[in-house]
Chains A and B, each alone.
Chain A
Amino acid sequence: MAGKIRFDLVSPEKLLYSAEADMVTVPGREGDFAVLAGHEPFISIIRTGLINVKGGDDGDMRIFVRGGFAEVNAEGLIVLAEEAMPADDLDAAALDARIKDAEEDLADAKDDAARAKAAEALEGLRQMRIHA
C-alpha cells in the first residue's frame, strides 16, 4: 500500500470533513470509484449516494453526499458536494418526505432530460433511505 490519501469534503458553506484515509469510495455519475494514494488526476461528477472512507483518522466512515463533483490530484481527493452528512445522522422521516417530493418531480417532468434528472435524484434518495 502506497500510504494514505488526503481526503477533503467541502460544502459551499464550509469544509465539512478532512482526514487521511487508506481508501475512499466515491459514487461517480458513471459508477462508484475507489481512490487510493497515488491515483491519477481525475475529475468526475458525483451522484447522490454514499462515500465510504476506509481507515480514516476516525476509523471507517460513511457519508452521504448529493450533487457536486470530485477531484483527484497530487494532493489528494477533494469532494465538492452541495449537501453532505454522516450516514448515521440520516433522518428516515425527513427522507420519506423528500422521496415523496422527488416522486412528484418525476411525475411533473416535462421532457426526457428533466425526467432522467428527476429519476436519478429519486434513486439517490431511495438509496439513502435504505441506509437510514
Chain B
Amino acid sequence: MPSLKSFKVRIASVKSTRKITKAMQLVAAAKLRRAQEAAINARPYAERMQRVLTNLGTAAKGNPGAPRLLSGTGKSDVHLVVVATGDRGLCGGFNTNIVKLARQTITRLLSEKKTVKILCVGRKGREQLRRDFGRHIIDTIELAGVKQVGFAQAQMISARVLSMFEEGAFDVCTIIYSQFKSVIAQVPTALRLIPADIPDNADARGAVYSYEPDENEILEDLLPRNVTTQILRALIENAASFYGSQMTAMDNATRNAGDVIDKLTLVYNRTRQAVITKELIEIISGAEAL
C-alpha cells in the first residue's frame, strides 16, 4: 500500500498541473480575442480584392492572353501543397486535423500519379508529415518567433511561392489550413491558390468600371497580391483556430486535473482513516491484554 505521503505528493503535483493548464487556458482566451479581432479587421481588404478579381477574372478567364496565375499552366502534373500548422503543441487536435487533411490530399494526388511538393509552414506540420512524406517536403517555414502573424509573414511566404511558380516548379498550388468557425469548431480546409480560384457566377450587379491601365495589366498586378491576401487569411484563421483549440483543450485538461484530484483525495482520506482505525485497534487490543 502506498504511503500517505506519496498520495500527498501526487495530489500536490496534479494541483500544480491544474494551475498551469488553467493559466494556459486564460492566456489562450486572451490571445484568441486578439486573433479574432485581427481576422475581422482583415476582412474588408480580402472582400474587396475578391470582388474586383471576380469582376475582372470572369471576363479574362477564357482569353488566351490571360495571366498564368489565373488560367494556370495548362497542366496539373506538379502540385505544391502548402501545409500551414502551428509551431507549438498543447492545442488539442488542431495540428493533427490539418495534417490529416494534408495526408488525404497528398495521398490522393500521389495515387493520381502527380508529383507532389510540400511546403510546411509551422514546425508541427513537418514533424508529423516527415515520416510518411519526408522526401516530398521541400522546405519548412517556421513562425515560432513571430508574436502575431501579419502581412509581413504572408508576403514572405507568397514571395517564395510566386518565385517557384515563375521558375515553373509547380502547376497547381493548394494551401491547407484550419478555418475558424467558432471556439469549438475549426474546420481544416484546402484552398487553391494557383490558378486563382474565382467563382464563376460574377454577380454583375455593380456598375461597369473603366480601368486604368487595362484589365489585363490590372490582373497582372492584382493576382500576386491576391495570393498574398489569401495566405494572410489562412495564417490569421490558423492563429484564431490555434488559440480556440488550445483554449478548449486546456479547459478539458483543467477539468480532468480536478477529477484526478478528487479521486486521489478520496483514496488519501480512506487510507488515512484506515491508518487511524488500525492504530486504535492496536491501542485497544494492547489495553485489553494488560
> Is B210 a contact of A45 with CB atoms below 8 Å?
no
CB distance from A132 to the nearest CB of B (A): 22
Known pairs A10-B48, A43-B211, A45-B222; list 20 more (Cβ under 8 Å). Answer: A12-B45, A12-B46, A12-B229, A12-B232, A40-B210, A41-B209, A42-B210, A42-B212, A43-B52, A44-B212, A69-B52, A69-B218, A69-B221, A69-B222, A71-B209, A73-B207, A74-B207, A78-B48, A80-B48, A80-B49
Which residue from chain B places its CB closest to the CB of A8 in the assembled complex?
B44
> Is A13 a contact of B212 with CB atoms below 8 Å?
no
Which residue from chain A places its CB closest to the CB of B150 in the assembled complex?
A13
> Is A13 a contact of B52 with CB atoms below 8 Å?
no
**A-side interface mostly:** strand
List residues of chain B with CB within 8 A of the CB of A73: 206-207, 209
Which residue from chain A places its CB closest to the CB of B215 in the assembled complex?
A43
Q: How far is the CA of A42 from the CA of B228 in the complex (A)?
A: 24
Please tell me the size bucket of the interface on B: 20 to 34
CB distance from A11 to the nearest CB of B (A): 7
Q: List the 3 shortest-distance A-B pairs measured between CB atoms, nearest first.
A: A14-B41, A41-B207, A44-B212
Mask of A1-40 contacts with B, CB within 8 angstroms, 1/0: 0000000101111110000000000001110010000001
Of the candidates B48, B206, B212, B232, the one whose C-beta lies within 8 Å of that of A28 is B212
Q: 13 pairs across A/B with beta carbons < 8 Å? A: A12-B45, A12-B151, A13-B38, A15-B44, A41-B209, A43-B212, A44-B211, A44-B213, A69-B221, A78-B48, A80-B45, A82-B155, A82-B225
Of the candidates B151, B210, B217, the one whose C-beta lies within 8 Å of that of A11 is B151
Q: A73-B207, A78-B48 are in contact. Are A45 and B221 (CB under 8 A)?
A: yes
List residues of chain A with CB within 8 A of the CB of B212: 28-30, 33, 42-45
Q: How far is the CA of A13 from the CA of B217 in the complex (A)?
A: 25
Q: How far is the CA of A41 from the CA of B210 in the complex (A)?
A: 6
Q: A13-B38, A80-B49 are in contact. Are A67 and B44 (CB under 8 A)?
A: no
Chain A positions 78-104 with a Cβ under 8 Å from a chain B Cβ:
78, 80, 82
Flag whether B208 is at the interface (Cβ < 8 A). Answer: yes
Q: How far is the CA of A82 from the CA of B155 in the complex (A)?
A: 10
Which residue from chain B places its CB closest to the CB of A74 in the assembled complex?
B207
Q: A45-B217, A69-B221, A71-B52 are in contact. Are A10 and B209 (CB under 8 A)?
A: no
Which residue from chain A places its CB closest to the CB of B56 in the assembled complex?
A43
Flag whether A68 is at the interface (Cβ < 8 A). Answer: yes
List residues of chain A with CB within 8 A of the CB of B155: 82
> Is B48 a contact of A82 with CB atoms below 8 Å?
no
Q: How far is the CA of A110 from the CA of B275 in the complex (A)?
A: 85
List residues of chain B with CB within 8 A of the CB of A44: 211-213, 218
CB distance from B64 to the nearest CB of A (A): 20
List residues of chain B with CB within 8 A of the CB of A12: 42, 45-46, 151, 154, 228-229, 232
CB distance from B81 to the nearest CB of A (A): 23
> Is B154 a contact of A41 with CB atoms below 8 Å?
no
Q: How far is the CA of A15 from the CA of B38 in the complex (A)?
A: 11
CB distance from B241 to the nearest CB of A (A): 18
List residues of chain B with CB within 8 A of the CB of A41: 206-210
Chain B positions 221-237 with a Cβ under 8 Å from a chain A Cβ:
221-222, 225, 228-229, 232
Mask of B88-108 contacts with A, CB within 8 angstroms, 1/0: 000000000000000000000
Q: A29-B212, A43-B209, A45-B217 are in contact. Are A71 and B48 (CB under 8 A)?
A: yes
CB distance from B36 to the nearest CB of A (A): 13
